[in-house]
A and B are shown apart, each in its own frame.
Chain A
Amino acid sequence: MTWELFAVFLGSSIRLATPLLLAGIGEMVSERAGVLNMSIEGMMLTAAFAAAVGSWATGDPMLGLLIGIIAVQPIALLQAVLSNTLRANQIVSGIGINILVLGATTLAYREIFGARSRAEIPGLAKIKPPLLGDIPVIGSAVFEQVWLLYAGIALIVATALVLRYTSIGIAIQAAGAEPKAVDKSGLSVTRIRYGCVLFAGFMASLSGAFLSIGDIHTFTEGMTRGAGYLAIASVIFGKWRIGGTVFASLLFGAATALQFQLPALGIAVPNALLIMLPYLLALLAVGGLVGRQLAPATLGEPYRR
């Protein structure tokens, strides 16, 4: 493999990992607080659609991104109400939301775009960081990315610091591991969990917007194609740690990137097999390579005083 090809592979791995990374970190925070958001997939799809429509209608991708973020919050709020206040089964309610969103976005897409499908949509700009981007060969191939990725990295670092060094951080961890302790210390478990679900929604909306107006500048029906579920898998694979989740996202991203790289190298592997690869990895991860005992103790269980 030549260096150029490797650099392209690295660059596209990062690009393909970005949605998983963004959504995965949000999901990790929510799961640490004890709420499992199966609806991350639906939230991403909503954001992808709303950001695309917003960007196309206003001509400004920044406004599109903003519209995407705003559009997801009601869904996140719905999930939060279902899983905390109404104490619904979190898996069933999440999947319900996903199916609803798939139908709603498909219908709305056909209504709005109709015959004009594949319309060119203004997308978010790419940036090249000053020093890294000037490295020969790999500079632009690896580091010239949509600015949302760099914003996301900053958000992830901030999240790590908040979890480690602030009172909110230990309250989030305690809400998932021992909610009674949170309640008895005078904090509100419900409020913490609502906040975390809304944060997961925010991160998922960045992720969804990246898919449509960051990566390919268009919207297609059901375009998330399970990326939300992969994000959940990367949280499990990453053992509910920031570093682990980032690593798992990159691994899944690289597995996806192989689809485009192997044919370019002239290695004849059926494409369908390669498309399966990240999902196969996720299956192995969730199916037992990672110990279950590492999950937050009350993950998926609504809190009852």
Chain B
Amino acid sequence: MNMASAPAEIVAEPLLSLSAITKRFGNFTALSDVSLDIRPGEIHCILGENGAGKSTLCNLIFGVHRPDGGSMRYRGASFQPSGPADSLAQGIAMVHQHFSLVPDMSVVDNVLLGRQRGLLNRAECARQLEKLAVDYGLPLDPFAKIEDLSVGERQRVEIVKCLIRDPSLFVLDEPTAVLLPDEIAALLDVCHRVASSGRAVVLVTHKLAEIKKIADRVTVLRGGRVVATSDKPAAEIDALVRAMIQGNVDTLDQSAASILGLEPVKHIGHGTENDNTPKTKVEALQIDGLTVRDYQGVTRLDNFTLTVDRGEIVGVAGVEGNGQSELTAVLAGMMTPSEGKIYLGDINLTAKSPKEITAAGVGIVPEDRHAVGCVTGMSLAENIYLNRLDEFTRFGFLQRSALEREAAALMQRFDVRARGPGALFSSLSGGNQQKAVLAREITLPNLTCLVAAQPTRGLDVGAVAAVYSHIRAACERGVAILLVSSELDELLTVADRIVVLYRGRIMGSCVADPDRREAIGAMMAGQPQ
């Protein structure tokens, strides 16, 4: 056993080392032959696209899953956690990609959950929280209920839940996805402070700006394998990205590259490119004073007024949960507005059914493609023509051969990769599912307006680029496009104009100019500019 070795050697040893780790889910190999070391005092970033195995790696370290092959050593001893309890006891704490907080309990109770036995000492815990607030700059009201906190504050609770255990190894799985720019800065600062006290931080991300700013070392995963490592990540960033997406950065679609933070974002939106063919302004979508109150009487969308012209892309920015879901649901006819009107040209679409809205020429790419965008248990062909299946029936019977022929053509046009038009929709990857949904909505015969909500969520770089080019092509054809996204970079890249939603109101609007990023960020946080 290594336990007998001299103290000096133990210090030099990595805190955690993985060797030849393999993890399979069914016949899908999520991780294969992954080896890496985490040293005390370092910030180790794990970089990779969606589906590269980053979260699986974290879950193995945290004991949620067990590896099928290979071994882990922690503090010089063999490490085989059988569950989160083992890892926590060993001083490993993890902030997960999705929050796991109990909404109707207080901050203190959430922090105490699983940490204390018997009677709860809430006052003592509140004191500890106040100390952490000072040490790490994480102010929190210990007795506030989680459901009353903002997304940024909830993230702080998740972090405090870990820090209060005084972990030796702090794992964060894509913690910045939902945060505002200055909240991200604060989070990175916390990572710095944790690492500078001799503990190790593992930060999973696909944002290069964060890596440049903070990483001591980087491991790049692609397809479940380690494809690159770097001790000087800031200097070698281009090589790391190339390894991540397995391709030449230069040939990457410019917009997709800017999403990754590869180069300064240039505005390549539609308006600036086609100055030689001035568009006549034709109002397509008019939203007037749209207000949505939920069953509890809480105003979710407040007097939302917006006009989208034909051939224009208007972006709706904002942190999630500020009324975007309600806006798209109302536009799709899935929710009845409390007040306000929606017009498409002269057609009143207020509180019409989804069928009528589709017939009027509005395409909807919904936020949650699994819940409302498709039927995963049906074939790709049926999904891709789901709203026009009537056209493929004769005497009430579905003409499958015609349907699949047409679907195959669309698959080719939109680069939807699947076994064939008859493939089960659930067997497609997320990117291909999204391309199929987009294909269906964009090819509506009389499309005049497209509402796309978070159209690139969970997609890899290639798919993102494809989605952008289809949206732009539709815009060129004179379709009015409303793009709702929580990724500010996406809006700055694709949209002509941005409006910012905050607590259901339009906080402000401006042209989609990367120089306005700070101002937009402030509006997203609720400060009018």
Q: Is A186 within 8 A of B84, CB to CB? A: yes
Separation of A178 and B110 alpha carbons in the complex (Å): 10
The smallest C-beta distance from B61 to any residue of chain A, in angstroms, reads 13
1/0 contact string of A170-203 vs chain B (CB within 8 Å): 1101100110111111111000000000000000
Q: Report the interface size class on chain B.
A: 20 to 34
Q: Which of B89, B104, B120 contacts A186 (CB 8 A)?
A: B89
Q: Which of A165, A170, A188, A297 contacts B113 (CB 8 A)?
A: A170
By beta carbon, the residue of chain B nearest A161 is: B119
Q: Is B84 within 8 A of A178, CB to CB? A: no
Which residues of chain B have C-beta atoms less than 8 A from A291's C-beta?
295
Which residues of chain A have C-beta atoms less than 8 A from B62's C-beta?
184
By beta carbon, the residue of chain A nearest B117 is: A167
Which residues of chain B have C-beta atoms less than 8 A from A297's C-beta?
103
By beta carbon, the residue of chain A nearest B89 is: A186
Chain A 267-305 residues near chain B, CB threshold 8 A: 291, 293, 297, 305
Binding site of B, secondary structure by majority: helix, strand, loop or mixed? loop
Which residues of chain B have C-beta atoms less than 8 A from A2's C-beta?
none
Q: Is B102 within 8 A of A177, CB to CB? A: yes
Decide if B64 is an interface residue (CB 8 Å cutoff): yes
Decide if B115 is an interface residue (CB 8 Å cutoff): yes
Apart from the given pairs A165-B119, A187-B85, 15 other A-B contacts in the complex at a CB distance below 8 Å: A166-B120, A167-B114, A167-B116, A171-B113, A171-B114, A177-B104, A178-B103, A180-B98, A182-B113, A183-B100, A185-B161, A186-B84, A187-B114, A291-B295, A297-B103
Which of A165, A186, A187, A188: most chain B CB closer than 10 A?
A186
Q: Is A187 within 8 A of B113, CB to CB? A: yes
Separation of A185 and B101 alpha carbons in the complex (Å): 10
A183 and B84 contact, Cβ closer than 8 Å, known pairs A167-B117, A167-B118, A167-B120: yes
Which residues of chain A have C-beta atoms less than 8 A from B120's C-beta?
165-167, 169-170
Q: Which of B89, B100, B103, B112 contacts A184 (CB 8 A)?
A: B100
Chain A 185-244 residues near chain B, CB threshold 8 A: 185-188
Which of B117, B119, B161, B295: most chain A CB closer than 10 A?
B119
Chain B 161-186 residues near chain A, CB threshold 8 A: 161
Decide if B88 is an interface residue (CB 8 Å cutoff): yes
Separation of A188 and B102 alpha carbons in the complex (Å): 16
Decide if B51 is an interface residue (CB 8 Å cutoff): no
Separation of A183 and B98 alpha carbons in the complex (Å): 14
Separation of A171 and B89 alpha carbons in the complex (Å): 18
The smallest C-beta distance from A113 to any residue of chain B, in angstroms, reads 47
A186 and B100 contact, Cβ closer than 8 Å, known pairs A170-B120, A177-B105, A305-B64: no
A-B pair count, CB < 8 Å, reads 77
Which residues of chain A have C-beta atoms less than 8 A from B388's C-beta?
none
Q: Which of B89, B94, B113 contacts A174 (CB 8 A)?
A: B113
Decide if B271 is an interface residue (CB 8 Å cutoff): no
Binding site of A, secondary structure by majority: helix, strand, loop or mixed? helix
Decide if B83 is an interface residue (CB 8 Å cutoff): yes
Q: Which of B100, B112, B114, B115 contacts A180 (CB 8 A)?
A: B100
Q: Is B100 within 8 A of A178, CB to CB? A: yes
Which residues of chain A have C-beta atoms less than 8 A from B457's C-beta?
none
Q: Is A177 within 8 A of B103, CB to CB? A: yes
B residues with CB within 8 A of A: 62, 64, 83-85, 88-89, 94, 96, 98, 100-105, 109-110, 112-120, 161, 295-296
Q: List 22 A-B contacts (CB under 8 A).
A: A165-B119, A165-B120, A166-B120, A167-B116, A167-B118, A170-B120, A173-B105, A177-B104, A177-B105, A181-B100, A181-B101, A181-B110, A182-B113, A184-B62, A184-B94, A185-B113, A186-B83, A186-B84, A186-B89, A186-B114, A187-B113, A305-B64
Separation of A181 and B120 alpha carbons in the complex (Å): 18
Which residues of chain B have C-beta atoms less than 8 A from A169's C-beta?
120
Separation of A267 and B98 alpha carbons in the complex (Å): 61
The smallest C-beta distance from B119 to any residue of chain A, in angstroms, reads 6
Which residues of chain B have C-beta atoms less than 8 A from A182's C-beta?
113-114
Which residues of chain A have C-beta atoms less than 8 A from B296's C-beta?
293
Separation of A161 and B105 alpha carbons in the complex (Å): 16
Which residues of chain A have C-beta atoms less than 8 A from B117's C-beta?
167
Which of B89, B102, B105, B295: most chain A CB closer than 10 A?
B102
Separation of A203 and B100 alpha carbons in the complex (Å): 31
By beta carbon, the residue of chain A nearest B115 is: A185
Separation of A186 and B89 alpha carbons in the complex (Å): 9
The smallest C-beta distance from B435 to any residue of chain A, in angstroms, reads 29
Q: Is B109 within 8 A of A184, CB to CB? A: no
Separation of A166 and B83 alpha carbons in the complex (Å): 23
Separation of A178 and B88 alpha carbons in the complex (Å): 19
The smallest C-beta distance from B425 to any residue of chain A, in angstroms, reads 22
Which residues of chain B have C-beta atoms less than 8 A from A183's C-beta?
84, 100
Separation of A174 and B109 alpha carbons in the complex (Å): 10
Q: Is B84 within 8 A of A184, CB to CB? A: yes
Which of B94, B120, B161: most chain A CB closer than 10 A?
B120
Which residues of chain A have C-beta atoms less than 8 A from B115's C-beta?
167, 185
Q: Which of A165, A178, A186 contacts B85 (CB 8 A)?
A: A186
Which residues of chain A have C-beta atoms less than 8 A from B100's C-beta?
178, 180-181, 183-184
Q: Is B104 within 8 A of A166, CB to CB? A: no
Which of A181, A188, A305: most chain B CB closer than 10 A?
A181
